[in-house]
């Protein structure tokens, strides 16, 4: 099962047992990606987490 990195276009093989909403890293560009779908395989760039300063 493989998806295409939306940043660099590399093929990303899903490790066995990958589930939706899991975060994985592109082996070519290092971008953190979120698994949107496992069938068909699809990933998107993971949203960046913002600092929470307790406000």
Confidence class for position 47, pLDDT limits 50, 70, 90: confident
- Residue 54, in any domain of the structure: no
- Residue 34, in any domain of the structure: yes
Range of the domain at 16: 2-45
Within 10 Å of residue 12's Cβ, how many Cβ atoms?
Answer: 22
Which tokens sit at 14?
Answer: 């899903």
Q: What is the pTM of this model?
A: 0.80
CATH of the domain at 30: 2.20.28.160
SS3 12: strand
- Residue 15, in any domain of the structure: yes
**What confidence score (pLDDT) does residue 24 get?**
95
Confidence class for position 48, pLDDT limits 50, 70, 90: confident
Number of domains in the chain: 1
- Residue 8, in any domain of the structure: yes
Confidence class for position 2, pLDDT limits 50, 70, 90: confident
């Amino acid at each position: 099962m493989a998806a295409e990195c939306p940043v660099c276009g590399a093929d990303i093989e899903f490790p066995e047992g990958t589930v939706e909403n899991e975060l994985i890293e592109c082996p070519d560009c290092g971008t953190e990606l979120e698994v949107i779908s496992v069938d068909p395989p699809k990933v998107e760039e993971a949203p960046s987490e913002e600092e929470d300063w307790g406000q």
